Amino acid sequence: MPAINEKYADFKSGFVAIVGAPNAGKSTLLNRMLGEKISITSKKPQTTRNRILGALHRPKAQLIFLDTPGIFKAKDTLNLRIVDTALAAINDADAILFILDVANPDPDSEYFLIKRLQNEARPVILALNKIDLIEKSSLLEIIAKWSKEYYFEDVVPISATAGTQVDELIASIENALPKGPPYFPEDALTDLPQRFLAAELIREKIFRLTGEEIPYATAVTIESFKEEKEGKLIKIEATIHLERDSQKGIIIGKHGSKLKRIGTESRQEIERMLGARVFLKLFVRVQKNWRKDTKALRKFGY
Ligand SMILES: Nc1nc2c(ncn2[C@@H]2O[C@H](COP(=O)(O)OP(=O)(O)O)[C@@H](O)[C@H]2O)c(=O)[nH]1
Ligand SMILES: [Mg+2]
């Protein structure tokens, strides 16, 4: 067997922070690049709250992506934590993948990030996302505009949902990474425990199936996660935490219909993720004003 440094003589590896405005498509792109869903997505901004790590294994490289919450002006304690999480991921990275939504620009967030990246020695690659939503003819202008704003290592127009040019983007990121052996074993997809991913899938359904402030007032914790029948059946008990009593009725819905739908849809996705049958039991609880409560935030994983 060759020595380890010989075996990986021309191997590349590194951490890549995915940053951008809320809703730019960061989590959708991560799932697309990995070919697996590890980060939840929705039409609503600020779906992602934690740092989500996903490893992409290539023949000559390992790309370790850090999906982050969007960068925006935070007002409460939860949101300050969320933005800190995104900025911390930038500090941990070897390269930065800046993604913007060409169909719905968010200049506040975009220029905040551009400013944060000034004097950045590490390579920054720009992905111009959602090109499926704009006229082809306007793309050149957008590329020219952003090329003037910053010295990007590369600018790649993509569509994360359609998969357009995602392979080109991956090749460009691989090119920008430093030489080095892999950090994770080849079968590792993420460092996140299955319990966390299950709670996230429940939170995603709440983001998609409820409106107004409900998704933002929600946290999900897993109370128990038990394998039975040699791992063929998994029994999960989860609690949906809300901020106010008045929100309970909305989550539960008429004759429990909303909660039932949240339960069914998340169970189906958790089953797909775990490759096992899942028995999911949901509880609803009110933890008054948890978003401002540092102890509660810690308990809920923020
Ligand atoms: N049309 C279109 N929609 C996209 C594309 N990429 C992401 N989206 C949608 O944009 C919304 C926000 O995506 P998400 O990944 O949650 O954004 P994030 O907040 O940056 O992580 C979702 O509804 C996605 O389906 C794309 O390339 N084209
Ligand atoms: Mg996200």
For residue 23, the CA-to-ligand 2 centroid distance in Å is 7
Pocket test of ligand 1: the residue of 19, 23, 134 to mutate, having most ligand atoms within 8 Å of its CB, is 23
Identity of the residue numbered 94 = D
> Are the C-beta atoms of residues 64 and 13 closer than 8 Å to each other?
yes
> Does the Cβ of 215 fall within 6 Å of ligand 1?
no
Pocket test of ligand 1: the residue of 52, 161, 169, 208 to mutate, having most ligand atoms within 8 Å of its CB, is 161
> Does the Cβ of 159 fall within 6 Å of ligand 1?
yes
Report the alpha-carbon distance of residue 23 to residue 29 in Å, rounded: 11
Give the number of other CB atoms < 10 A from CB of residue 289: 13
> Does the Cβ of 28 fall within 6 Å of ligand 1?
yes
Pocket test of ligand 1: the residue of 18, 19, 27, 28 to mutate, having most ligand atoms within 8 Å of its CB, is 28
Predicted local confidence at residue 116, as pLDDT: 86
pTM of the model: 0.89
> Does the Cβ of 132 fall within 6 Å of ligand 1?
yes
79 alpha carbon, distance to own chain's centre: 15
Predicted local confidence at residue 262, as pLDDT: 98
Q: For residue 181, give every residue at least 6 positions away whose Cβ sits within 8 Å of its Cβ, in sequence order, or none.
A: 4, 5, 7, 8, 11, 13
pLDDT in tens, the chain (302 residues): 556 667 788 999 999 999 999 999 999 999 999 999 999 999 998 898 888 999 999 999 999 999 998 877 777 787 777 788 888 888 889 999 999 999 999 998 898 889 888 888 999 999 999 999 999 999 999 999 999 999 999 999 999 999 999 999 999 999 999 999 999 999 899 999 999 999 999 999 999 999 889 999 999 999 999 999 888 999 999 999 999 999 999 999 999 999 999 999 999 999 999 989 999 999 999 999 999 999 999 999 88
CA 150, 33, 95, 199 torsion: positive or negative? positive
**Closest Cα to atom 19, ligand 1: which residue?**
23
Predicted local confidence at residue 160, as pLDDT: 98
φ and ψ at residue 184, rounded to 5 degrees: -120, 155
DSSP code per residue over 54-116: EEEEETTEEEEEEE-PPP----SHHHHHHHHHHHHHHHH-SEEEEEEESSS--HHHHHHHHHH
Q: For residue 108, give every residue at least 6 positions away whose Cβ sits within 8 Å of its Cβ, in sequence order, or none.
A: 21, 72, 73
- Judged by its nearest atom, the ligand closest to the C-alpha of residue 21 is 1
Domains and CATH numbers, the chain: 4-176 (3.40.50.300), 194-299 (3.30.300.20)
Atom of ligand 1 nearest to the CA of 41: 16
> Are the C-beta atoms of residues 34 and 189 closer than 8 Å to each other?
yes
> Are the C-beta atoms of residues 282 and 238 closer than 8 Å to each other?
yes
Predicted local confidence at residue 4, as pLDDT: 62
Predicted local confidence at residue 5, as pLDDT: 65
For residue 67, the CA-to-ligand 2 centroid distance in Å is 7
DSSP structure class, residue 153? S
Bridge partners (DSSP) of residue 228 are 233
**Closest Cα to atom 13, ligand 1: which residue?**
25
